[in-house]
Structure 1
Amino acid sequence: MQTPLRIFSADGELISQFGEKRRIPVEYEQVPQQLINAVLDTEDARFFEHKGIDPIGIVRAAVILATTGKKSQGASTITQQVARGFFLSREKTYIRKIKEIFLALKIEKALSKTEILTLYLNRSFLGNRAYGVGAAAQVYYGKELEQLSLPEMAMIAGLPQAPSAANPIRNPERAMNRRNWVLSRMLEKQNITQAQYDEAIMAPITARYHGAEVELYAPYISEMARDYLVAQYGEEEAYTGGYNVYTTVDSTLQQQAQQALRDNVYAYDERHGYRGATQQIWSDQIPSNQSIIDTLKKTRGFQGLQPAAVVSVAEQSAQVLISSGELINLEWQGLKWARKFISNKRQGSAPKLASDVVTVGEQVWIRNNGDAWQLSQIPEVASAIVSLDPHDGAIKTLVGGYSFHTSQYNRVTQAKRQLGSNIKPFIYTAAIEKGYTLSTLINNAPINNADTRQGTAWRPKNSPDKYTGPTRLRVGLAQSINVMSVRTMRYTGLETAIDTLVKFGFSREDMPRNESLALGSPSVTPLQVVTAFSVFANGGYRVEPYFIKRIDNAYDQTIEQAKPTLACTPPAPIENVPAASDDPFAAMAGEFEQSYLANEQASASANEQCPVDARHAEQIISEQTAFLITEALKSVIWGGGDWSKGTGWNGTAWRAARVVNRRDIAGKTGTTNESRDTWFSGFNPKLATTVWVGFDDHSRELGRTSWNANGAKDQISGAEAGAKTAGPGWNEFMKMALANTPVVQMQPPEGIVSARIDLATGKLSRKSDHTTAFEYFVAGTEPTEFATEAPTQGDIFIDNSVEDLFQ
C-alpha cells in the first residue's frame, strides 16, 4: 500500500508523517455505503455481477472507437483498474489492455469482490498526494470517512479519472461538474432520491487542502525517529512501509516543555532590549490595506509570532494590521518593555511613549502573551530542554531549540557546551565515596598555590568574590562555591574525579586533565547531563536514555519493542533445593520449599517493580551516596539556617522554591566563564530535567541587563547566570509538569543515620538551638567529637596549607 511513516507520542498523539504518498488504509466495513454506491455507479455499475471484465462495457468501447476513432477508458472494470494500478502502466496500447484483461481474470479467481474493491478504494490516486478514499477525505475535507456529506462523497468518487486536473482545489469548476455527474449516476441507479440529488447539487465546493492532522507539534523528536527508521530500514522502505513509531514523549509534558522554553527565551530576549522593526513598508503615502496584507503574507509567522504593520501610533498605544486583515491594538503594557538594544551588556533607557518604540509604516512582530497582544521579536538566543523518567531512561520531553522552522539543529543531542557548575555534584560524589560527609569543613579561601598544568597561574575565584573560611560541604554545593569544589577535587585526585564522571556517562575524551574540571570546563550535551542527574533521582543507577517505545508495521504487528534498563536491583536467584530422596515426605517438603521461595521472590520482584528478565541498569554509586547528594541539592533550592535568628542562607536556585514550591525537588545551577553557557538541572523522584541557554555562536556572551524602570518588581537584572537564565525555564516547566502529582516523601535508605551537629564546626552538638541542625551520614561516618571538646589537629580543616588560609 506504500503507507507513509507516522510518528506518535507515547499516548497516541500524531507528531509527524513522512512519505511522498499520503494513505490512510481502511477496511471495507469502514467505508460508508453511499461512498461505495457513488464509486460503483461511476466506475463499474455491474462490478458484483461480472467476472473481472464487463462484455457490455467492451462492446460500448468498441462502438465508440469505431465511430470516433478515439480509445475510451469506459471498458475498464474496477478489477481491471486494480490490475493496471498494481502491475501495469497507464499507456493506452492494445497489448496493455490484453494484459489487463488476463490479470483481471486471475485476480477475480484469487480474491473476493470485497477484497478487490477494498484494494481499489485504498490504492487509487485521488490528487494532492492522497492515495485512497481515507486519505482523500482527510486531505480535501479534514474528516474521517463517516463524517463526509453526500456531495463530498460524490466529489471523491469522481476523482479517479482525472485526479490532478479535476480536483476541487486545482479546478473547482471542473470538479463540481464531475461531482454533479456522479450524483446524477447515483440518482439514475436509484441510490439517492430526487430530493437528495436536488439538495446535493446545490452544495458549494468546500474542499481545501488539509495537511496531516498533527496533534502534537514536536519536530525534534520526530526527526530523531525518522533518522532511526531510515538508518534501520532504508529511506524507501521507511517512507512507504506503513510503520507507526510510538515514542516515549508524553504529549502534555512535551507541550509544557515547549511553552516553558519559549517563554524563557522571550523573557531573556526582551530584557536585553528591542532590536527594531523588520523593515519599513512605507514612509510617506499610505498604501491600501490589501497592499499591506499582500506584503505581510510574504512573511511566515511561527511559534506564535505574527508579522504586523504599524498603521497608527498614539501616546502609549499603537494599532497594527495583520495578514488576516484584522486590526489589533497594542496597549502600553505590551510596548513598554522595548527599551533599545545596544549590546548584550547594554540597554537604552526605558521608553515613555509608544513613539519611542514604533513608527507608522514599520513591519514588526507581535505575539499573544496569554493576556494580551504585545510587541515582540525573533529571539537570537538558543535553548534546549530535555526530561527523563529516571527509573527507566524514557525521554518524556525533548525540545532541541526555540524553533525547528529557523534551525533544525538539535541542541539536546548535538550541542556540546561547557558544563559549568552543573559538574559540582559529581565532584562531591567522588569525595563522599572517598570519605567526606555533608558536614565536612572545606576551606572557602582564595587558592594561592596555582595549578601549573594550566600553563598559566590559574587561580580560581568565587562568584561573587567572597570567602567565608571553613564551610560545610552541604553549603559549598548549595551555594556553588568554586574554591571549595577545586579543593574537593584535590582531595579526591584528578583521576578519581574523571573516573567518577565517566561512570555517570560523560566521555573520558571530553575531560580536561587539569583543575578547571572542578568548575565545569568539559563540553557535554544536555542529554548526557540529564542522564547523569537521573542517577541521584533513582538511587544510584545509570539508566540508558531511549526515545522509541515501540514500532508497529503496516499490519499493526509490533516489530520492535523497547527493553529499557531499569533502575532497580533484581531479586536474588532461587537457591537450588536438594534433589528429592526416596522419602515421600522429604520430596513433599522440597517441593513446598521451592514453591515458597518462588512465591517470595515473585512478590519481592513485583513490589520492587524489578522483573527478573528485565535489563537492569548498572548501579554506579551507592544508594546512600545518591541520597546524600540529593539532600545537598535540595539545599540549592531551599537553603538552610534560621532566618529569624539571622543564620538563614539561600542556595543559588532559591527562585525554584518560590515558583515550584515543592519539598521533593532538588537541582543545580551552572554558569561558565563570561556567561556563555547557563544550565539548570534538577529532579524529583519521578522526573529529571535539564535546561540549557546560550548562543549557538559560542563566542557570544549572554551578557547582563540593567534595571528597567518599566519592568516588574521581581524582574531579573545583573549578569546572566544559571539561576537567572536557565533556571526560570526549569521552574516554569517543573511547576506545570508536577502540578497534579503528589509530593514524594523520600525516606533515608538503610545505612543512613542522622546526628545533631554544630553548624560552625560540623561536629556533634549537645545544643538544640539555631546554631545546630540534624545532618545525614552514612552509618559509621558521623562525627565522634562534640563541638565543645578540644578539636583534634587537622580534623576539620581539609586543606591545612597556611598559604590557603586568609592572609
Structure 2
Amino acid sequence: MKRFLKGLFRFFLYVFLIVFLIALVAGGVYFGSVYMGVKKDFNKVVSVNMLPLPTKVYSSDKKLIAKFGLQNRIPVKLKDVSPWMRYAILAAEDARFYEHGAIDLVGIARALVVDVLKGKIVQGGSTITQQLVKNVYLTPARTIDRKVKEIILAYRIEKEMSKDKILQLYLNTVYFGDGAWGVEAAARTYFDKHAKELTISESAMLAGLVAAPSYYNPYKHPQRARKRTIYVLRRMYENHFISLSQYKKAMNAKIVLIKPSANLFGLIVAPYFTDYVRNWLIDKYGEEVVYKSGLSVYTTLNTTLQRFAFIAVKSGVLSIKKKYDGLQAALVAMDPKTGYVKALVGGFDYSKSQFNRALQAKRQPGSSFKPIIYLTALTEGYLPDDTIADMPVVFRFNGKEWRPQNYERVFHGTVTLKYALTHSVNVATINLLNSVGIGNVVSMAHQLGIEEKIPHNLSIALGSLSVKPIEMVRAYAAFDNYGLLPKPIFVTKVTDKYGRVIYQAKPRLRRVFDDVDGYILTGMLKDVILYGTGRAARIIKRPLAGKTGTTNNYRDAWFIGYSPDLVCGVWVGYDDNRMIFKGATGARAALPIWIKFMSNALEGQPIKDFPIPRGITKDIIDMVNSPPQNPEDLQKDKPTIQQLYENAIQ
C-alpha cells in the first residue's frame, strides 16, 4: 500500500512539474513577445510628438466647424511648474513616487486594505508612471494584454528615464477638466496664471481634479471640488510636503476662479450647436476619448443656414431693443423629412450666456400650442368648416370663476374651426378643447414629442404648459410631414482616427396621425399666414404655414412655421420672465426673425406647394383651399355682449 501511494505521489509530482514547465515556457514566450512588441509603444511614450489627437467636427456641407481638445495644451518643463503643484500631484496620486520603481507594491497593498475595509474602491494602486502609460493609450480597453503592456512599459520607462522627466511628461499629458490638458493649460483655464505661479491651495485644487475631472469640476460642483481640495491638502501635510502652518493657511485661503472661457474647447462656428454635440459625444464616449482619440464627427448643420439664423436673431433682437438689455431669442431649423437640425441659435450671445434656450429653456408656448388642439379635433372627426361657439363663458373650479377673453376683447358668436385657428380666437379654442377632451389633447401632445408634464385643465388652450423650442419645432415637423414625427438628429456619423465608422444615425419617422388630417391642418395653418396673425410672412411669396404664440403680460413671443421642406421655430423673451414690451405679440417680436431667416433660407429654391395626399376627396380639397368663412355670414342676428354673458354656460 505504501509503495502504491509513493508511486501515485511521484506520478502527480511529475505531472505537476511538466505542467509547470509548460506554463513557464508559455509564459516566457508570451511575455517575451509582448516585451518585444512594446518597443514602438515605448517610443510613442517618450516621443515629443505624442500629444493626443483632437476630435474634429464637420458640417453637412463638409466644413470644419469645431475642434475639441487640441488647442488647450501648453507643454512646460518641470522647472516651470510650481513646487507646490508637484507636491500636490504626488500627494494626490503617488506620494512614494520617488521611492518605488514602476510598480508600488506597498501602495497596492495599502489600497487593497482600504478598499476591503470600505467595501468599495476608494484608493487606486497605479503609480504615476503607470498613469503616464495609460494617458498615452487613447482607448482605455481593460484587457490582459493591455495590463501586461502597461506594466512592461512602466518598467522600461523607469529604466530609461529619470523620475523628474517622468513627472514632467505626466504633468503635460494629464487631463484637468474643462478642456485643459496639462498643468500649464489648467493653470490658465482656472486661474489665468502660469503653472509656476500656483499657490498651495490652487495646486491642491488642480491635483484633486485628476481623479475625476467632471465629477470635481469647480464650476459645476464647487462643494465636491472643495472637499477634494481639503483631502489633497491633508495628504500634502501627512506626507511632509508642507508644514502645519502652511497647511492651516492653505485651508483658509480663498480660491478665486476666473470666468469660464467664452470660446471653450475651440468652438469656431455655431457654438450652441457644437456645444450640444460635444456634450453628446462625452455622454456617449467619455471625455478622454473625445479630447484625445482623433474622432471625426459629421453633423447635420448647414453653415449657410446657420449664418442666416445668427443674423436673423441678432438683428431681430436689436430691432426690438436698440440698446441690448438681456433680451434673448432662440431659433431652431429642421428638415422635416429627416429630423436633421440644419441651424440652431440658443441665445443672443454665447460669450455672455452658454445656456442653450433652443434645447433647454422651458417656456409657455401661448397660442402656438393651439394647432395641437385643432389636430386632435380633426382626428376626432371635426372638419375645418364645423362651427364652435365664441361667446362669453364662465368656468367654475373650486369656488373660483374663470372668464376667458379673446385678445381683442371681442366675441364673434359662432365661428368655424378654420376661422378660430386663423385668427387665434381664444374662447372658441377653449370650447373646442372642452369638446374634444383635455385628456385626448394631452395624449396627442405627448405623442408629438412634448415631454414636459402638461396641466390637465382648460388653460392649456392658451398655452399654459411649459415646452422647449426644439419640442415645438419637432411637433410642427410632424404637421409638415402629414403625421410622420421625426427624431431630431444632430450627428449623422462618427469615425475613429483610422476612418472606421463607430456610429451612424439614420432618420427615424413615426406615424402619429393620418396624412389627410395633416393636409387639412396644414391648410388651416396656411390661412394663418394668408389671412390671420401671421400675414406679415406673405412677403416671402411662397406657400407657407405657421402659427404665432403670445403669453400673458407679453413674456414670451413665438412663431413656428414651415415650407414643404423646412421647419423653423423662433422664441423671444427674457430669462427672468419679465415683459418684452407692451404689445410684444408673436407677430411683432418673433415673426420678423422668422421671416428674415426663411426669406434667406428659401431664396433661390424652387417654389413648391404642399402635396395633396392620395385618395383625398375634392370636397376636402376645396374646403382646405377656401378662405375662412366670416363669422357675420354664419349668423344674421348677432347677440349683444350682455345677452351673451346672460347665457354664459358653466
Q: Which interval holds the TM-score relative to the shorter structure?
A: 0.5 to 0.7
The 5 A counterparts of 1:483-562 are 483-507=427-451, 510-562=453-505
d(CA) in 1 for partners of 2:574, 2:430:
27
Aligned to 2:601: 737
1:253 and 2:253 correspond: no
Aligned to 2:59: 9
Aligned to 1:19: 69
Q: Mind listing any 5+ residue stretches in structure 2 that lack a counterpart?
A: 1-49, 74-151, 166-180, 186-262, 637-643
The 5 A counterparts of 1:235-634 are 235-270=287-322, 377-447=323-393, 449-452=394-397, 456-507=400-451, 510-565=453-508, 617-634=509-526
Aligned to 1:638: 530
* Contact 1:246–1:550 (Cα < 8 Å) also in 2: yes
Per-residue CA deviations over 1:249-279 (Å, capped at 9, x if unaligned) read 1111011111101111111112xxxxxxxxx
> Against the structure 1 CA distance between its residues 440 and 10, is the aligned structure 2 distance closer, same or farther, given a 3 Å change threshold?
same
d(CA) in 2 for partners of 1:409, 1:679:
19
> Structure 1 residue aligned with 2:562, among 678, 683, 686?
683
Residue 740 of structure 1: how far off its partner (Å): 1.5
* Contact 1:391–1:543 (Cα < 8 Å) also in 2: yes
d(CA) in 1 for partners of 2:316, 2:467:
22
Aligned to 1:656: 537
> Structure 2 residue aligned with 1:749, among 606, 610, 613?
613
Give the secondary-structure state (helix, strand or coil) at the position aligned to 1:510: coil
d(CA) in 1 for partners of 2:375, 2:634:
30
Aligned to 2:581: 703
> Against the structure 1 CA distance between its residues 802 and 418, is the aligned structure 2 distance closer, same or farther, given a 3 Å change threshold?
closer
d(CA) in 2 for partners of 1:739, 1:668:
22
Residue 456 of structure 1: how far off its partner (Å): 2.7
Partner amino acid, structure 1, of 2:515: E
Residue 736 of structure 1: how far off its partner (Å): 0.4
What is the number of residues matched between the two proteins? Answer: 417
Partner amino acid, structure 2, of 1:16: A
Aligned to 2:235: none
1:234 and 2:286 correspond: yes
After TM superposition, the score normalised by the length of structure 2 is 0.59
* Contact 2:376–2:440 (Cα < 8 Å) also in 1: yes
**Structure 1 residue ranges (4+ consecutive) displaced by more than 4 angstroms after TM superposition:** 20-23, 86-91, 211-216, 787-791, 801-806
Identity across aligned pairs (percent)? Answer: 35
> Against the structure 1 CA distance between its residues 88 and 473, is the aligned structure 2 distance closer, same or farther, given a 3 Å change threshold?
same
Q: Choose between structure 1 and 2 for higher RCO, CA contacts under 8 A separated by at least 6 residues.
A: 2
Residue 446 of structure 1: how far off its partner (Å): 1.7
Give the secondary-structure state (helix, strand or coil) at the position aligned to 2:559: strand
Residue 788 of structure 1: how far off its partner (Å): 12
Residue 495 of structure 1: how far off its partner (Å): 1.1
* Contact 1:460–1:482 (Cα < 8 Å) also in 2: yes
d(CA) in 1 for partners of 2:635, 2:400:
41
d(CA) in 2 for partners of 1:753, 1:482:
31
d(CA) in 1 for partners of 2:321, 2:526:
29
Partner amino acid, structure 1, of 2:67: Q
d(CA) in 2 for partners of 1:753, 1:451:
42
Per-residue CA deviations over 1:636-676 (Å, capped at 9, x if unaligned) read 1111xxxxxxxxxxx00111112xx2332100000011111
Aligned to 1:569: none
Give the secondary-structure state (helix, strand or coil) at the position aligned to 1:457: strand
Residue 564 of structure 1: how far off its partner (Å): 1.9
Residue 96 of structure 1: how far off its partner (Å): 3.6
Structure having the larger proportion of residues in helix? 2
Partner amino acid, structure 2, of 1:430: T
d(CA) in 2 for partners of 1:480, 1:242:
52
Partner amino acid, structure 1, of 2:431: R
Give the secondary-structure state (helix, strand or coil) at the position aligned to 2:67: strand
d(CA) in 1 for partners of 2:414, 2:635:
17
* Contact 2:67–2:267 (Cα < 8 Å) also in 1: no
> Against the structure 1 CA distance between its residues 539 and 216, is the aligned structure 2 distance closer, same or farther, given a 3 Å change threshold?
farther
Partner amino acid, structure 1, of 2:544: I
d(CA) in 2 for partners of 1:727, 1:18:
35
d(CA) in 2 for partners of 1:212, 1:88:
34
Give the secondary-structure state (helix, strand or coil) at the position aligned to 1:257: helix
In our comparison, the structure showing a higher alpha carbon Rg is 1
Residue 469 of structure 1: how far off its partner (Å): 1.6
Partner amino acid, structure 2, of 1:679: W
Residue 426 of structure 1: how far off its partner (Å): 0.5
Aligned to 1:326: none
Structure having the larger proportion of residues in strand? 1
> Against the structure 1 CA distance between its residues 5 and 463, is the aligned structure 2 distance closer, same or farther, given a 3 Å change threshold?
same
d(CA) in 2 for partners of 1:398, 1:238:
22
Partner amino acid, structure 1, of 2:356: N
Residue 490 of structure 1: how far off its partner (Å): 1.1
